[in-house]
Amino acid sequence: MSVLSGKKIILGISGGIAAYKTASLVRLFIKAGAQVRVIMTPAAKDFVTPLTLSTLSKNPVNSSFYNEEDENAVWNNHVELALWADLFLIAPATANTLSKMVSGSADNLLIATYLSAKCPVYFAPAMDLDMYRHPSTLTAFEKLSAYGNIMIPAESGELASGLSGEGRMAEPENIVAFIEKHLEDALPLRGKKILVTAGPTYEAIDPVRFIGNHSSGKMGYDIAIAAANEGAEVILVSGPTHLQLKHDNVKLLRVTSAEEMYNACHEYFANVDVAIAAAAVADYRPKTVASQKIKKADAEFTIALEKTKDILASLGEAKQQQFLVGFALETENEKENARLKIKRKNLDLIVLNSLNDQGAGFGKPTNKVTFIDKDFNEEDKELKAKEAVAKDIIDKIKAHYNV
């Protein structure tokens, strides 16, 4: 999953031959999962058509403050456009547009929107060799960078004039890669490693049957995605579940039993910064596993059970610098039991949810939790989607690291 997924992007296009590349640029942003709105200068329409870009972006293209052919038309609100965006890219940024960005000469919709932008602004220069090296252009680069804008350097190659050298707008693939890396480097949990467990465990009775529970794994998967979206490198140890996850920052390890989950957790725990145990691990397993399917015979059937290894307690014993988060699913004396679990398992934070709360528990898209930290400070949360609960949990991690 790209860091651009879900981002709202304004692409500003000025009047240079490199504008023909913006069709590919829009497609790459859409493919990455972003929403795109295009603003063109009047001159840009000489190089690429608004119809092409509106078709690719699935949004109308704006190029003027109002529609001169419709006297009843509503004006294109540059402030509203600017506030909509999560990031703003001007590509190509011609020498003329760079000069207007520096001076604040808002004689077109693109520059007016740029001046109203509150989001990060990237610009990709494109011009001929001598223009690129001209002192006025170099000064514009310096001033725009001082304003907080991010320059995507031009590349060297064949130019429209027939010359070869620096000034060619970066290729669309390189522009997208530049922005992705810049955003990733700024993510608050960049450089942190987080271990997450999710789902149930299945404890075999025979080759056909098992002891399990109703956990879907969704809470743990949502936590893994939320952590990865904040830049963390995530190891997700998942019990059996139908859920799928594809994210560049997530390594998914599938296991079946509590023993397999225990081994996987201890393989990685020493090298992580945070561990979040969201899995519903079986407390007991059959003492003996039949090698063949057990046939139905007597009216009653007894299975001898033995305790599984307590994964969370064992991580608490092995804990050094790690921030350890556990879950408690209770049906009675909820907070008292959760506080005991914090001490007994050496936790830094516990996420308590009760089966008595409507909308909480296994197999539901929502959850209602209470956070209790190692000092027994409590924070009750309202019922919300599990994705939102996952974000709340990751916010606790960010607060721990003051990021």
Specify the DSSP element, H or E, that contains 56. helix 50-57
Strand partners, 254: 238
CA count, 13 A, side-chain hemisphere, 402: 0
Q: Do 204 and 303 form a contact (C-beta atoms < 8 A)?
A: no
Whole-number Å distance between alpha carbons of 31 and 84: 20
Q: How far is CA 86 from CA 3, 233, 364, in A?
A: 12, 23, 31
Query: Would strands 35-40 and 8-13 be described as parallel, antiparallel, or unpaired?
Result: parallel
Q: How many helices (H) and strands (E) in the chain?
A: 13, 21
Whole-number Å distance between alpha carbons of 379 and 162: 66
Specify the DSSP element, H or E, that contains 165. strand 164-168
Whole-number Å distance between alpha carbons of 200 and 211: 10
Query: Would strands 384-385 and 366-367 be described as parallel, antiparallel, or unpaired?
Result: antiparallel
Whole-number Å distance between alpha carbons of 162 and 250: 46
What SS3 state is found at 64?
Answer: coil
Q: Which of the residues are catalytic?
A: 213
Query: Would strands 284-286 and 203-204 be described as parallel, antiparallel, or unpaired?
Result: unpaired
